[in-house]
Amino acid sequence: DAGITQSPRYKITETGRQVTLMCHQTWSHSYMFWYRQDLGHGLRLIYYSAAADITDKGEVPDGYVVSRSKTENFPLTLESATRSQTSVYFCASSTSGKETQYFGPGTRLLVL
Amino acid sequence: TQLLEQSPQFLSIQEGENLTVYCNSSSVFSSLQWYRQEPGEGPVLLVTVVTGGEVKKLKRLTFQFGDARKDSSLHITAAQPGDTGLYLCEGTSYGKLTFGQGTILTVHP
Instruction: Quick: pLDDT tens for B23-74.
Output: 999 989 999 999 999 988 999 999 999 999 999 999 999 999 999 999 999 9
Coil vs helix vs strand at A17: coil
The reported pLDDT for the residue numbered A1 is 56
Confidence at A61, pLDDT banded by 50, 70, 90: very high
Query: Which residues of A sit within 8 Å Cβ distance of B?
Result: 33, 35, 40-45, 90, 92, 97-98, 100-106
> Least CA distance to B31: which residue of chain A?
A98
Give the range among A17-31, A34-48, B13-27, B73-87 with minimum mean pLDDT.
A34-48
> Is it the case that residue A17 has pLDDT exceeding 90?
yes
| Record: contact B97-A45, CB cut-off 8 A | yes
Facing B42 at nearest CB: one of A97, A100, A104: A104
Please provide the average confidence, as pLDDT, over all residues in chain B. 93
Contacts of A102 in chain B (CB under 8 A): 45
Mutate to test the interface with B, among A98, A99, A102, A108 (most CBs of B within 10 A): A98
CB crowding B87-106: b at 16 or more within 10 Å, else e: bbbbbbbeebbbbbbbbbbe
Contact assessment for residue B35 and residue B88, using Cβ atoms and an 8 Å cutoff: yes
How far, in Å, CA of A61 to CA of A53, rounded?
17
- How far is the first Cα of chain A from the last one, in angstroms, to the nearest whole number? 34
- Give the model's pLDDT for residue B94: 78
pLDDT at A89 over 80: yes
* Chains A & B: contacts with CB separation below 8 Å: 46
What pLDDT does B46 receive? 95
**CB contact (8 A) between residue A43 and residue B44:** no
